[in-house]
Structure formats: C-alpha cells, structure tokens
Amino acid sequence: MSVDTTVSNEQILFSIRSKIDEILSKRQKKAEELRAKREKVFELGKAFTDAKSLYDIASQIEDDEQSELCFEKIDALTPNGKDVQNFISEIDSVIKRFERDYVSIATVGKERQGKSRVLQSIGNLDNEVIPAYKSTSCTGAVSVIWNDSSMPEGAVKAVISFKDVEDFMSTVNTYVQIIDPSMKLGFGDLTKRGISDKLRRIVEKNAGNLDMSIAFNHLKDIFEHFEEEIRDLIGGDDIILNEKETIKTYVAQNDGKSESDGCEHYYKFIAVKRADIYCRFYNDIGKVRLVDTVGLEDTKAGIEEAMLETVKNECDAAIVVTKPISGIQLPDQHLYDLFRENFADRDTSKWLFYLSNKQVGVNDSTAEAFAKEINETGMAIANRSDDYQNMVVDASDPDGLYRTFIIPMLQKILENFGEINESYVRRLESDGDELIRKLEESVSESGPLSKKGLDNGMGQQAFLKGKQCFNTMSAELSRQVMYWGAERNNPNGELFNRVKVILDNIYEMIPSEEKLQLMFESNGALLTDDVWKIALNMVRNELTDKFIEIDEVLEEATRRFKNSLVKAIYEELKSLIPETVVLSQNEDELDMTQWLNEAIKIIDVKPEYRQIIKAFRFLCSFEFNTRAQIIQTVRQQLYIINPICDEYAKPVFNFHKNTVGKEVNYYLTSRISVVEENIRSSLLNLYRTPNQAFYAAAEEFYDRLTFASDMDENNTLIDMRDIWGMFFQDFYTIICAQAAQQSIAIEQFHSKYDELIQSIRTKMAEFPFKSQGVK
C-alpha cells in the first residue's frame, strides 16, 4: 500500500472523492434492489400474519377436539411469522447501510492511544472540539466528525444530541446494581442525598472491591452534578453549537490541565448521546465521516459493546489506533479477537486497519516493532503488507498521516468496497436460506387436517352417540350416587350449621330484665305470673320462627342436589332441547328441573322411553321437607315452657312485683338452658335425614335411567343402553343439523387454511434471498 508519487496530492484526492461518489451511488442502487426484494419477503410475512384471521373461524367450531386441532394448526404458523419479521429487520438494517451517502470509518482502541489526536489531524481540529491530552482520559462522548468542504477553514459546527431518560437510567442502574443488586433507581431518585450516602456506605463496607469502587466514582459524578449540569439536558432537543469553547464543555471530561494547574472538569458529556461535528478536513477527502469511540479501557459501563455496535451498524471500516510500548500486548490481542469473533461473517482483512502511533522521540522503535509483529503474525487486517512502515505514523503530523496512512487506507477501502458490501448481501442470502428451510419444515408439518363431515351413516352415528351418552351419563350419575352414599351417614352440614346458629344465640331471645320489668310496670293489668307467661310465649314463637326458616336452607340444598343430577345428563342432551328453556340465570339461581320438564314434553313420544320419563318426573317432583319433623321435635322440647302442656314446668317460686323482670329472666334462662340441651340432642338424628334422602333420590334416578331394562312385546330384553341409542336415533335430525353446522365451520376452516398454505408456498418459491445453488 503506497501513494503514487508521480501524481499530485490534489489529483489523488480528486480521484478519491470521485471514486467515493461513484461507489456510494452504486451502493444506493443496490439499496433500491434490496427494497424491491424486501417487498416480497414482506408479502410472505403477511401471509403468516393472515393465519391469525383463521382463529375466528376455528372458534366457531363447537367440537372441542376439532376446534383444538384447528387452533394448534394456526399456532404452529405463528412463530414462522416472527422469524420472517426478524429477517425483514435484518434487510432493513442492510438497506439503511446501503442508503448512506458517505463512507463511515470508526476509530477504536484503548484509552490514551492517540485516537483523538488522529481525528484532530484528519479533521484539522483542536483540543476544544476533539480533546486529546497526554495524561488523562478526555473523550467524554461519542463524536462523529463529518468532512464538510463547504465550511470555512477552521470553522466548526457541532450538533449535540442527548440521551433519553430510559437510556440514561439504564447506564446509572448498571452502576447501582454493581454496588447493590437489589436496588433500582428512578430518575427522581438522583436528587435524593440519602441514596448516594447509602451506596457510599455499602462501598465502604466492601473496601477492596474495585468494581464497586469504580462504579461509585461514576455515580458520584452523576449524583453531584445531576441537578446543576445534567438533569435538564436529559431527553432534551438537539442543540447546534459553533463556539469551540462551548463545544468542549459538552464533549470533553476536562480541559486537559493538571489538577495543580487548576484543571477544569466538565460533566455535561454524561448527558450527551453523540456529537456530530462538521468541519473542513485537513485534506478534502470527499464524503467521509469519522466515528470516534470511547477508549476501551474506560471504566464506563458497556463501552466494549457500544464500540462493537457502532462499528457493526454505522461504519464501513475501522482503524485500531495503538501507541505501542512494546510488541503485541494481551489487550491488543483481546481487541483483535473481539473483532474476529463479532465479525466472523465479514472478512476483517477488507476493512480493519491498524495504525501504530509513533510519538517521535518517545516510542519510535516500539511503534515500528509493533507494526512488524502484526505483519509477521499474519493478522487478518486490511493494511498488512511487507512494507509495514505504512502502518507506523505520527498521529500529530497531519501531512504524514494523510500521506502514509489515510490516503492509502481510503484507496484500499474503495478497492474493497464492493466486497465489503457484498458480504452483507451474502449474509442476507445465507440467513434467507436458513429461514426458508425452517419455513418449509414447518409448513410440511402443518399437513392436511382430518376432515369431519356429514355422511350417510348419520342415523347409525346418532345411535352410537346415544350409547356413548349413556356411558358418560351413567358414569357421572354413578359418581353422584357414590358421593351421596358416602355422605348419607354424615349430618347435613347446612342444616347442622343453621341449627347451631339458632341454638348458639338462643339466650338472646330471652327478653332482658329491664324489658320485662318495664312491660310489667307499664301495664297495670298484668300480674307477675302474666309476665312469666308472656315471656314464655315470646321465646317460643321466636324460636319456632327461626326453625321454620330452616326450610329455605333445605329447599336450596334440594335445588342444588337436583341440579347436580340434571347436569350429568344435560351436557349430553342439551342439543335436543330448545335452548330457550335453560334460563340465562347465573349458576346460583338456576333451576335445572325446568329444563327437565321441557325435556319430558319433547321426548314423551314413545312407550320405550317410559323409564326415562319416569326418572325425569321423579326428579322434578322430588321434594324434601323437614319442616314437620323439625317443628315437631322443637315444639316437644318447648313443652316445659308452654303452660298449656302437661309437661309445663312452672318455677317453684313466687314472682315479686319489684323484681319480676329479673326473676322471670333468671328462671327463663334456666328453662332455656334445658330446652337448648334437649333440642341439640333430639335433632342429632335428624341432621342425617337430608343426606339420606338425597342418596335415595340419586340412587333412584341413576337406577331407573341405567338399569331399568324392559321387555318388548316379543318378550325380548331391551337394555337401557339400547333405549338411549334408539332415543338419539329418533332425534338425529336435530343432531344432524348441529353436526351440519359444525361441518360447515370445519370445511370453511379447511378451505381457508389450505388457501393460506398454498399462498405461503407460492411466496416461498419466489423468495428473493437465496444463496447460489439453492433453488
């Protein structure tokens, strides 16, 4: 790589500018071609997205098994749509690159290697725009330096854009979580002093933890300068600056002076996302921009990843700037390996350049030794040649830099540009092959659906369904019978609890002493014995009222019991009974015997169904009324407080006018204590009665519907299973209508699905990104 010395510098530059214009134009045409191809891929993606419209049709299929099958088919296509979308994003990224109207070159490297000095020399800039000091890390923000030949020499325009809150907080929290993994800060937290102190204490407790210490130093700057210098810039609009003095406060970390000389520090760079600097380069090399990246040894979070992203997405070539102190060091090897790993599909020997920065009088020999070693180790870089001297350059000497390095580099880039761009297309083709392979696999797996439709054997099908219904129904009824069989020796919980509540509160029914005394005193006609009797009457009536109310509980339990039995057959028979019959009430209020009554009307058409009808009628009319038993039991225990009964137990005590209230209350409490005891005891057997009745009813219903085998006129045994089969056969028109409707929905799904798969196959055949040799 060398510059032809017979041609003038200006001629060379003119040639480079023209060549850049030419290749950029070619690249943009390539972008147009990609855009057209993208449309075809987009259509393919849309075909997969269209699969979602089949959900509506599939949801109309009532047959759960069929419906589930259809949903599975649609679901199987969904991930393919996402794969196609990802591929489109990849195409878009290449299109964006190809549409660029400039050649973009990144400068990368460790800290303090002279990257910024290289940029200064290329861009004819000084420390105020691109800070480059010997002793400190100085580049604060990513800068992009554009060659703008229309600008006067020495003039600079900087467009500064700022981080948004999310980006900014993501960086902040990266540091925070190094110190306290459980902590995550919000934007507003940065003004809270306590948080900084808390983090500081954690760092102090972990003295010696370097990562924590570094993270805290970054955070410290942010906390301390957030309110004054950073907060208002975050999320703000871009600003345009022309004054170099001002620009440096946004892009630099300090003014380069030593602390003893009163070094001034800047913190706005923390808020800066990037600075686009427009200036006239030292030599007009045409449509070129240089991207400065932050030094790799900088401890700021995500520096390495950010550098790789920048090179990958924004640059056509990269210069690794090194100021060698000896041969290839471990960090140098690491950086090279990093490029090789991350750009395995892009040949680094076409676009990755090394610059060995020679500081005259300081590292002359090591800079050359470094270049020589790079050459000898055979690293895949674009400026490796036997004449390794072309890699060695004093970055602070613009003439030397352009002559020895920049111009040869540009010539090499232009020479390789076609191949560099082609590598992106090849990558798309290779990914396209993989995508198509995946799609073909998936579409072939989607295969034809098993179709379900009407056939001439519908009557037979109905008969079989009847038998199937019998099996399902008898299994469910059997389960119910077993449940109530197990429950029949247990007290009915609802009845027991209701009685318990009444008896636990029985003493509250006794009128208070005061109330009784007042009753006596406010009614001159009453005798003390009358107060006693009135109190007895009041308690008796209130107590029996409460027990009469229990009937509601049992009615409700009976309703639920009947519903549980009807549900066992409802699911199988609902298609036969008009839908309007089942009231659209909520589950708690539903009375399913109404549906059973309607079912009786519809199916009471043949003598063969008499056992079914009998079972239905039995369940409809089944009632369980414990009122009489309960009231009889309770009233029997009230005899001792009922003066008209022989068992009445009058206190052996004469009530006194002045204390009748207290006396009546006292003796009534004693009596009620006995009454309570006896009611609890005498009702014990009654608690089991409801469950025993439910068991009997469930057993009767189950027995009649499943085992009531009959004889026909020829004395042939007719099994209930056959009767249900016959029953369904009779009602097969209804079943047919329903099945037909189902069949239409399934057919419709099939048709649309097949159409879709065909469309996908056609679009796959036209897929525009295929490697050569792939048909």
Give the footprint of another protein on this chain (CB under 8 A): 490-491, 496, 503-504, 507, 636-637, 639-640, 647, 649, 651-653, 659, 662-663, 666-667, 669-671, 673-674, 676-678, 680-682, 684, 687-688
Q: How buried is residue 542: exposed, middle or buried, by Cβ count under 10 Å (0-12/13-18/19+)?
A: middle
Minimum distance from residue 174 beta carbon to another protein (Å): 53
Rounded distance between C-alpha atoms, residue 707 and residue 691, angstroms: 23
Minimum distance from residue 674 beta carbon to another protein (Å): 5
Cβ neighbours around 173 below 10 Å, total? 15
Cβ nearer to another protein, comparing 122 with 539: 539
Cβ nearer to another protein, comparing 171 with 678: 678
Cβ neighbours around 666 below 10 Å, total? 14
Q: Are 612 and 730 in contact (CB under 8 A)?
A: no
Q: Provide CB contacts within 8 A for 661, sequence distance 6+.
A: 512, 513, 514, 515, 516, 517, 518, 519, 520, 531
- CA distance readout (Å), 623 to 67, 448, 698: 41, 55, 13
Q: 619: closest CA among 564, 580, 577?
A: 564
Minimum distance from residue 688 beta carbon to another protein (Å): 8
Cβ nearer to another protein, comparing 199 with 634: 634
Cβ nearer to another protein, comparing 384 with 671: 671
Rounded distance between C-alpha atoms, residue 548 and residue 676, angstroms: 17
Rounded distance between C-alpha atoms, residue 490 and residue 484, angstroms: 10
Minimum distance from residue 66 beta carbon to another protein (Å): 51
Rounded distance between C-alpha atoms, residue 172 and residue 163, angstroms: 12
Give the 3-state secondary structure of residue 276: strand
Minimum distance from residue 542 beta carbon to another protein (Å): 18
Rounded distance between C-alpha atoms, residue 648 and residue 640, angstroms: 4
Cβ nearer to another protein, comparing 659 with 771: 659
Q: Are 85 and 93 in contact (CB under 8 A)?
A: no
Minimum distance from residue 666 beta carbon to another protein (Å): 5
Cβ nearer to another protein, comparing 159 with 649: 649
Q: How buried is residue 12: exposed, middle or buried, by Cβ count under 10 Å (0-12/13-18/19+)?
A: buried
Minimum distance from residue 506 beta carbon to another protein (Å): 9
Cβ nearer to another protein, comparing 290 with 554: 554
Cβ nearer to another protein, comparing 652 with 711: 652
Cα dihedral: 757, 763, 764, 770 (round 10): -170
Q: 124: closest CA among 154, 158, 159?
A: 154
Ordered DSSP codes for 353-377: EEEEE--TTTSHHHHHHHHHHHHHH
Cβ nearer to another protein, comparing 302 with 493: 493
Q: 565: closest CA among 699, 724, 709, 470?
A: 699
Minimum distance from residue 547 beta carbon to another protein (Å): 17
Cβ nearer to another protein, comparing 303 with 649: 649
Point out which residues pair with 104 in neighbouring strands.
289
Minimum distance from residue 553 beta carbon to another protein (Å): 17
Minimum distance from residue 550 beta carbon to another protein (Å): 16
Within its chain, how far is the Cα of 535 from the centroid? 68
Cβ nearer to another protein, comparing 490 with 758: 490
Minimum distance from residue 503 beta carbon to another protein (Å): 8
582: DSSP letter: S
Cβ nearer to another protein, comparing 653 with 707: 653
What does residue 278 show for φ and ψ, rounded to 5 degrees?
A: -105, 130
Cβ nearer to another protein, comparing 286 with 661: 661
What does residue 256 show for φ and ψ, rounded to 5 degrees?
A: 85, -10
Work out the angle between the directed axes of helices 9-50 and 64-99 (0-180°, nearest 10): 170
Cβ nearer to another protein, comparing 541 with 681: 681
Rounded distance between C-alpha atoms, residue 484 and residue 695, angstroms: 5
Rounded distance between C-alpha atoms, residue 142 and residue 314, angstroms: 12
Cβ nearer to another protein, comparing 55 with 653: 653
Give the 3-state secondary structure of residue 288: strand
Minimum distance from residue 165 beta carbon to another protein (Å): 56
Which pair of tokens denotes residue 753?
A: 């699905």
Rounded distance between C-alpha atoms, residue 417 and residue 414, angstroms: 5
Cβ nearer to another protein, comparing 354 with 667: 667
Minimum distance from residue 485 beta carbon to another protein (Å): 18
Q: Are 533 and 519 in contact (CB under 8 A)?
A: no
Question: Which stretches of 473-523 are assigned E, i.e. beta strand?
Answer: none
Minimum distance from residue 637 beta carbon to another protein (Å): 8
Q: Are 176 and 183 in contact (CB under 8 A)?
A: yes
Rounded distance between C-alpha atoms, residue 568 and residue 596, angstroms: 12
Cβ nearer to another protein, comparing 309 with 514: 514
Minimum distance from residue 662 beta carbon to another protein (Å): 6
Rounded distance between C-alpha atoms, residue 182 and residue 199, angstroms: 12
Minimum distance from residue 467 beta carbon to another protein (Å): 43
Cβ nearer to another protein, comparing 137 with 636: 636
- CA distance readout (Å), 653 to 236, 377, 532, 656, 675: 96, 123, 11, 9, 20
Minimum distance from residue 507 beta carbon to another protein (Å): 7
Give the 3-state secondary structure of residue 529: helix
Minimum distance from residue 576 beta carbon to another protein (Å): 43
Q: Are 424 and 97 in contact (CB under 8 A)?
A: yes
